[in-house]
Amino acid sequence: MKPVWPLGTKFIDYKKRTFEVCHITMGDPAASNAGISYVVEMHNGWKVTARPGDHPQTLVGFCEISDTDKSNVITRSVEKMEEYIKNGQIKRI
């Protein structure tokens, strides 16, 4: 499945801070019945965590673009991110 929040997606919050998606999770690799999962890490630090098969995106990891420490990744569920969009707390750019 295609992620609803793909890597590189940018958005701003209500404080006008700009963020970029840098880690996505497809399926639930932490579930006890999930079996094998894998992580693909790209040269720029972006990551995709998934289990084999066709699974919907469950988590979005993002960092503030102006933050020089890109290891400070904030993770939220896809549902929470969609709620933030509906409430006007964030806006895709």
The pLDDT tens digits for 54-88 are 889 999 999 999 876 667 899 999 999 999 999 99
Query: How crowded is residue 12: how many other Cβ atoms within 10 Å of its Cβ?
Result: 14
- Does residue 4 lie in a domain region? no
How many structural domains does the chain have? Answer: 1
Whole-structure pTM value: 0.86
Other Cβ atoms within 10 Å of 44 Cβ, number: 9
Give the model confidence (pLDDT) of 6-50 as tens digits. 999 999 999 999 999 999 999 876 665 556 778 899 988 889 988
Give the pLDDT score at 81: 97
**45 lies in a domain?**
yes
Residue 82 located in a structural domain: yes
Question: Domain residues for 54?
Answer: 10-92
Residue 53 has what pLDDT? 80
The span from the CA of 70 to the CA of 35, in Å, is 30
